[in-house]
Amino acid sequence: MEKFDDPYVQFRPPDPTPDDEICGCPADTPVKLVSLRELQGFNPLRCLDCNGEVPVDRLALTLPVLQAVSFWDSQHGAITALELASSRYEAWARQELLDPQSATNQSGLEAARLVNASHPCFFSFFDPDSDEDWKPRDHCPVCNGHLVRYRKGKYPQLLCERDRVVVGG
Ligand SMILES: [Zn+2]
Ligand SMILES: [Zn+2]
């Protein structure tokens, strides 16, 4: 049965990521932390260049770093799900995602810093890019500093090297 015809799709375990959605870039390509839990995604490590999933074991992270990433991912995904659900929690969730000082963004920034100790890594900051009036950011949402265009990515992206933040550009 095609997935979109299956009324039980939300109740089934997710399929493995197809091979063509797994990153095949050179080993030193930077990664980014993007929570996809709200879409049944269990691996938040994405390639900065091709946007593909980066198998976690490829980076040989230590257990404390893996735990920090997973702790952040489960909470961030839950808040993102509330933001998408258009429920009474939507405004609260959006505020949490947009506030660089919120607990979820602070733990995401920290998780990216920890990964960064062994592999170049950026934290993907919330971009309300489905808003009608969305425009790429002029400044880093964390330090308000200048953002630098990243030219190697498949999609337009802007970086703050200082905070290790990536946003859509
Ligand atoms: Zn890649
Ligand atoms: Zn910054």
Model pLDDT, residue 128: 85
137 within domain boundaries: yes
162 within domain boundaries: yes
User: How many whole angstroms from 10 Cα to the centroid of ligand 2?
Assistant: 37
127 within domain boundaries: yes
Give the residue numbers spanning the domain of 94.
27-168
Q: How many domains does the chain have?
A: 1
Model pLDDT, residue 132: 87
User: How many whole angstroms from 145 Cα to the centroid of ligand 2?
Assistant: 5
Model pLDDT, residue 40: 76
Among candidates 55, 46, 62, which has minimal Cα distance to 122? 46
User: How many whole angstroms from 34 Cα to the centroid of ligand 1?
Assistant: 14
20 within domain boundaries: no
Model pLDDT, residue 3: 67
Model pLDDT, residue 69: 97
12 within domain boundaries: no
Model pLDDT, residue 145: 97
pLDDT tens digit sequence for 105-157: 999 999 999 999 999 999 999 998 878 888 889 899 999 999 999 999 999 99
pLDDT classification of 14: cutoffs 50, 70, 90: confident
| Ligand number, closest to the Cα atom of 125 | 2
User: How many whole angstroms from 83 Cα to the centroid of ligand 2?
Assistant: 24
92 within domain boundaries: yes
What amino acid is encoded at 98 in this protein?
L
Question: Averaged over 79-105, what is the pLDDT?
Answer: 94
- pTM of the full structure: 0.92
User: Which pair of tokens denotes residue 63?
Assistant: 């257990």
74 within domain boundaries: yes
What proportion of the chain, given as a percentage, has pLDDT over 90? 76
Phi, psi (rounded to 5 degrees) for 165: -110, 140
9 within domain boundaries: no
| Ligand number, closest to the Cα atom of 139 | 2
User: How many whole angstroms from 26 Cα to the centroid of ligand 1?
Assistant: 7
What is the rounded CA–CA span in Å between residue 158 and residue 139?
9
Ligand 2 is an ion; residues with CB less than 5 A from it: 140, 142-143, 145, 160, 162-163
User: How many whole angstroms from 138 Cα to the centroid of ligand 2?
Assistant: 11
